[in-house]
Structure 1
Amino acid sequence: MKYIFPMLLLAMLFTQCRDDVPTLNPDGSMKAVIDGSSWQADVLEAAYVDGELTLSGSTLDERAIVMGATIGDLKPLTVAFLPGSPDGLTYTSVGGARTYVSNTAGGDGFLRITAVDTAREWISGRFEARCYRLQEGGGVEITEGVFTKVPYTDSLPPIFSSGVRAVIDGATWTSDSVATALGDGQIRVQSLGENGRQIRFRIPENADHGTYDLDPTGAFSAIFITMQSDTLSAESGTISIDLLNEDRRRLEGTFNFEATGSQQVVSLADGRFEINY
């Protein structure tokens, strides 16, 4: 998300959710209260690169909190989340169905770094936010957010060593973050990029190499989520599987489709994915 993720984080931050790997960072933790209900991350990821911090936590049911801010030096400080700010928090609901952002009208919040250990490379702090979808009056309130000793990386893989990209209505789009989940015989991929736009798709975990038609109710499906959080389905188009290696947990391929819905039609061409799951 352009609003949420600093622009220099064009390399991928991976949030990989699998039943056999409940957490990437067993020594760190992130928890919060979301609309009055307790939430705790199963998977954590953080990166601090060139003065920009991205911090994310997600659960196995795909509820995710992602924060991004330009902070300069990594030290105890507080960053305000304000409408229109390049810094902010995004929340994705169960199954990745809805995305809410703090930096739209009515939204606010903060990220407070309370402790940093640069030798061991971990950070701790607090956060809160009120997030909204652009086309809805309702929202999500996140309170009592705490992250403790979350390990961070100070280097990222080369751009598109992994990730998702496409040409959307003639303009190149590259994912800022990718979340994957394996369950019920399917690989589910959720990629998030500039201005909150998302590309998501599902394929069978035992799919053979080849090209397949996309169908909203079929085994191979895809959706595109606009910057206004409208969900558009791939009513036609194809997805090609070039590599699906269960031992390496590696998935690569291409896609092309038109996404329709809410009286909109969006063209996604020259799509490419190279991801771990």
Structure 2
Amino acid sequence: MKNIKLIGGLLLIITAFTFISCENEPIDSAINLDDFDGGGTGGPMVFKADFGGNTWNGTVAQAVISGNLVSIGANRADGSTFSILISGNTTGTYPANSNIIAYTPAGSEYGYWSVNLANESELTGSIVISNINTVNKTISGTFSYKGYWSDSTNTSILPVDFTNGVFTNVPYTSSNPVANDTFFAKIDGIEFVEEQIDGALITNVSGMPDQISVVGSKNNGDRVGLNIIRSLAAGTYQFTGPLGENVNASCVLNNVLYNAESGSLTITAKTDTRIKGTFTMVVKNFTTSVTKTVTEGAFDVEYN
């Protein structure tokens, strides 16, 4: 079944790559955000978009920049949300279909997102990052896209055009890798050689429980990511699909997303700021049904 559930302003299939960090540090030692400080000024936060003859205005918005990834989330009191995930961390234009924009109506677990599951190469729109202000810690830009209902088994819901999307002065936080963090995994028997390790705490996101995010990533965008409910004690927990109750995981390999379908994660040690464990899993792409086997997974990271 080709469908994606969108809950609480987060794309749960990619929450392993969507962090809210407690740190406000430089993104990467190889990146100087001052180089693309586009002259933006302080001012009120705006997140809005037009569709269906109306303008949606977000009341709360937050962004996170981590490694080569920007995530932006916005919601309002009725429970509807927008989520944007960009594989990149500089000003510029990004195609919507190879990144993510998603609108989730209030009370729905599905939404309108920027990929046509029947034709994933369709150019559905774009996201423009116009300014990253490192003084005020804000990000600004625009977006527009043709949104397809994420449950493709429901063919009665037609696509919706989202236009005049604007995010202005959205506050961002950034994560910085810790020198003594470790991460290891093999994918189909070949070592995944990460170039960055990120641990972060996701707190108070639309009523969801606090979560710990652990990600090993390469500069080309390949990633292995884990999401762990923060309240879990040492022990073994099963992966049960993209919406698992206790743990979730996903991989991005050659720009293809895979979600954990089965396997387990064992927490061997945990403090208020650090978590250590092991994992094995089978991950699956929801469009092609291609699977990958992840073995010998191990991590030891600071997350607070």
Same fold by TM (over 0.5)? yes
> Residue 63 and residue 82 in structure 1: after superposition, are their counterparts in 2 closer, same or farther (change >3 A)?
closer
- Greater strand fraction, Structure 1 or Structure 2: 1
Indicate which of 130, 147, 160 corresponds to 2:167: 147
Q: Map Cα deviations across residues 195-229 of structure 1 (whole Å, 9 max, x no partner).
A: 687745454x4322233444459754435466555
Does the 8 Å CA contact 2:275/2:302 hold for their aligned counterparts?
yes
CA 1:260–1:101: 2 relative to 1, 3 Å: closer
Which residue is 2:211 aligned to? 187
1:239 Cα deviation from its structure 2 partner:
0.9
Cα distance between partner residues in 2 of 1:135 and 1:228 = 19
1:233 to 261, 264, 274: 261
Distance 1:188 1:97 in 2: 24
1:104-139 CA deviation, whole Å, 9 max, x = no partner?
A: 4222324152x6756545454433334669996976
Distance in 2, matches of 1:16 and 1:172, equals 24
- Taking the TM superposition and a 5 Å limit, the aligned residue runs for 1:4-43 are 14-15=19-20, 29-33=45-49, 36=52, 38=56, 40=58, 41-43=60-62
| Paired position in structure 1 for 2:100 | 90
| Aligned counterparts of 1:141 and 1:196: Cα–Cα separation in 2 | 30
Alignment: residue pair count:
238
Q: Which amino acid aligns with 1:172?
A: F
Alignment of 1:65 with 2:80, yes or no, is: no
SS across alignment from 1:42: strand
Q: Which residue of 2 is the match for residue 253 of structure 1?
A: 277
CA contact (8 A) 2:48 2:57 kept: yes
- 1:133–1:228 contact (8 Å) kept in structure 2: no
Q: Secondary structure at the match of 1:14?
A: coil
1:107 is the counterpart of 2:131: no
CA contact (8 A) 2:261 2:284 kept: yes
Q: Counterparts in 2 of 1:40-51, with a 5 A limit?
A: 40=58, 41-46=60-65
> What TM-score results when the alignment is normalised by the length of structure 1?
0.55
What corresponds to 2:236 in structure 1? 211
Q: Distance in 1 between matches of 2:86 and 2:259?
A: 22
Residue 268 of structure 1 corresponds to: 294
Counterpart CA distance in 1 for 2:143 and 2:128 is 5
> Given the two structures, how large is their TM-score scaled by the length of structure 2?
0.52
Structure 1 runs not aligned, ≥5 long: 1-11, 18-25
1:166 and 1:180 map into 2 onto residues whose CA distance is 23
Work out the CA distance in 2 between the residues paired with 1:162 and 1:91. Answer: 31
